[in-house]
A = this chain, B = another copy of it.
Amino acid sequence: MAEKIRIGVLGASGYTGADLVRLAVRHPNMEIAVLTANSHAGKPMRAVFKHFAHVDLPDLVTIEDADWGAVDAVFCGLPHGTTQAITKDIFERYPKVKIIDMSADFRLRDPAVYKEWYGLDHTAMEIQTEAVYGLTELYRSEIAGARLIACPGCYPTAVLLSLVPLAKAGLIDISDIVIDAKSGVSGAGRGLKENTLFCEAGEGLSPYSVGKHRHMAEIEQEIGKAGGVADLRVNFTPHLIPMSRGELCTSYVRLPQGQTAADLRGHLIETYAREPFVTIADEGVLPQTQMVRGSNYVVINVVPDRIPGRAIVISTLDNLVKGSAGQAIQNFNVAYGIKETTGIEQLPLFP
């Protein structure tokens, strides 16, 4: 019998929180001790998400009523802003708890950038400095020792896993990157909004937040860091696609003289040779969200464009799994020294 680590989930009534719970229930080293959802406090989880009808779970409680002394680790699926205060409070009272944050509050290193994109002053800078950016494949050793892990946004996970190694190796011109991003509707959350109604989002396709999407800040931070450029700017343009899960980023890149798409692909194959969750597709195979649905896998490929000197880098993941809850568990596993694939190695669900 594996030893159980007691976990709490903050914001269990959102899609990310629920997907975390879905995976945690079957994780051999997790015991779900606390589930919070202020607007649904007092209800059983299966009243809020009917697909939990099959299992017993703790009833939902308010954040105030949650007993953080009863948990070893907290997964946080709250909106940005709120997260800072709660994290600070938990650390003050229970300094040994590990927090794996799926919100945006600790992703950006520069408080000015945080304020620019999120419209708020950061009020917990003292703990932000210890936060590790939770892109497992790129920050594994830091995550291993961290108490506060800031999991990346879903889009940044897809983009950075494909472009950061190329930027580091100087294989792309990072000053000229166009990222056309497409996401299923679950990325917009469970809140009631007209544009995510079935009749509005179904059978249709819409660009959104063009030039304004907050994930752009993370993408620029990390690619800039990899390529050694401060204040990098990339073009990042998201589109809402009529599907529930899945995300695909098509990145148009310019190559340094002499480089080819095959060189980029070769570099990624080498970089990710031993990674359990990163698949470089076979030559000529175009990644598609159907290759990752419901799983923690990322698929990447690089294909030539017929325009000389350019290539197209395509990456895809399930926004709720590798883009959020799955990667959070992957980080949990790393942080607790558990086998990294534990609890998240389901193959994709297709069809």
Contact = CB atoms under 8 A, between A and B. Distances in A.
Contacts of A233: 306-307
B350 A18 contact: yes
A250 B207 contact: yes
A273 interface: no
Nearest to A49: B350
B206 A182 contact: no
A19 to B, nearest CB: 8
Given A196-B197, A198-B197, A205 B241 contact: yes
Interface stretch (A82-90, A147-155, A297-305): A297-305
Contacts of A75: none
Given A178-B178, A199-B190, A242-B242, A291 B235 contact: no
Contact of A349 (B22, B306, B347): B22
A269 interface: no
B351 A202 contact: yes
Among A15, A210, A350, chain B packs the most CB atoms within 10 A around the CB of: A350
Interface string A236-264: 01010111111010101000000000000
Contact of A297 (B54, B204, B295, B349): B54
A14 to B, nearest CB: 11
Interface in A290-317: 290-295, 297, 299, 303-307, 310, 312, 314, 316
A266 to B, nearest CB: 18
A285 interface: yes
A194 B201 CA distance: 14
Contacts of A348: 22, 51, 54
Contacts of A312: 210-211, 235, 237
A285 B50 contact: yes
A198 B182 CA distance: 16
B241 A51 contact: no
A192 B190 CA distance: 11
A129 interface: no
A279 interface: yes
A292 to B, nearest CB: 7
B53 A281 contact: yes
27 contacts: A15-B199, A18-B350, A50-B290, A50-B350, A51-B290, A51-B291, A51-B292, A53-B285, A54-B295, A55-B347, A180-B250, A197-B198, A199-B351, A202-B202, A202-B244, A203-B244, A204-B289, A205-B248, A206-B289, A206-B290, A211-B306, A235-B305, A235-B310, A239-B250, A241-B242, A242-B243, A349-B349
Given A53-B281, A197-B197, 7 more contacts: A22-B348, A53-B282, A196-B198, A198-B244, A199-B351, A206-B289, A242-B242
